[in-house]
Structure 1
Amino acid sequence: MTPPAADPARIWVDADACPGPVKEILFRAADRAQIAVTLVANQWLRTPSSRHVRALQVEGGPDAADDAIVARVTAGDLVVTQDIPLAARVLALGAQAIDPRGQPFTSDSIAERLSIRDFMDELRGAGVQTGGPTAFHARDRQAFAGQLDRWLARRR
């Protein structure tokens, strides 16, 4: 008897703060690679008419979208997020994670990234102006597309 086929890998998107150009890349990749892409947000999202793309709206509240992703993600899936704690949670479940600028989260780098995030939170809590993220550029879009293509090639 042959074992049942493994569930195909899926892509989960922490969509509340995901840049539009990254979503467009994911929409095209979903159809090209015939892979499920699910955008998770606590607001209604417009998605293209595609059997591979869907949106999941969750109740508002802190970490509601994160919790919904963690409840559904499986080993081998890819999560697109800027949220470092979410990335740590999905890495612990055997999924992979990248940010919208194409930077992969890894088990080797996640502890350091969490420490930096916590330190910056402490500075902001103390009233220090730390500034926000830099503007999203074409090179960020290219870096993301490159990382996504590498992940898709590995899953084939």
Structure 2
Amino acid sequence: MVIYVDADACPVPIREILFRAATKREIKLCMIANRLINHPRSPFIESVRVADGFDVADQEIVNRCEAGDIIISSDIPLAAEAIEKGAHVLSPRGELFTPENIRQRLNMRDFMDTMRSSGVHHGGPPPLSNRDKKEFADHLDRLLSRAK
């Protein structure tokens, strides 16, 4: 099992939780981004830099992931593709994407894209809260415990 992180958009506090989990549980953590991501020296943590471009990091994650891997991303199309391959997908805010909820999330994403294209601005997500960090850490712990 490998934990792949869509690292360009992953908040630093979430990365720190991941660094600790990978080291403690001796699980490979692969940070994929179009820039190098600083991380602690560990045989379990690596940073992979991909070329600049739309969805290049996402596609690299999809190409690498296998059934049973864990993907950390809030990108809904990436989550859908990873779920199709049998991976578990967790957002940095602690939301677990599943085969049961991913279609609804894709539909909502497409609806919001349509709204933005028509000039309706919704704003971005709220800042990452302590509750979000706890949700993330709890879900990650459950996924890692089930995998062992």
Q: Same fold (TM over 0.5)?
A: yes
Residue by residue, what CA displacement relative to the aligned partner does 1:125-152 show, whole Å, maximum 9, x if unpaired?
A: 0110111111100110000000010011
Identity of counterpart residues, as a percentage? 46
Q: Secondary structure at the match of 1:48?
A: coil
Name the structure 1 match of 2:102: 110
Query: In structure 1, how many angstroms separate the alpha carbons of the residues matched to 2:65 and 2:134?
Result: 26
How much has 1:155 moved relative to structure 2? 0.9
Residue by residue, what CA displacement relative to the aligned partner does 1:77-112 show, whole Å, maximum 9, x if unpaired?
A: 000001000000000001010100110000010000
Name the structure 2 match of 1:3: none
TM-score normalised over the length of structure 1:
0.94
Query: In structure 1, how many angstroms separate the alpha carbons of the residues matched to 2:24 and 2:109?
Result: 35
Name the structure 2 match of 1:88: 80
Q: Secondary structure at the match of 1:21?
A: helix
Query: In structure 2, how many angstroms separate the alpha carbons of the residues matched to 1:64 and 1:152?
Result: 27
Query: In structure 1, how many angstroms separate the alpha carbons of the residues matched to 2:36 and 2:90?
Result: 23
Matches within 5 A, 1:1-156: 9-156=1-148
Query: In structure 1, how many angstroms separate the alpha carbons of the residues matched to 2:147 and 2:113?
Result: 36
Residue by residue, what CA displacement relative to the aligned partner does 1:66-86 show, whole Å, maximum 9, x if unpaired?
A: 110111101000000010000
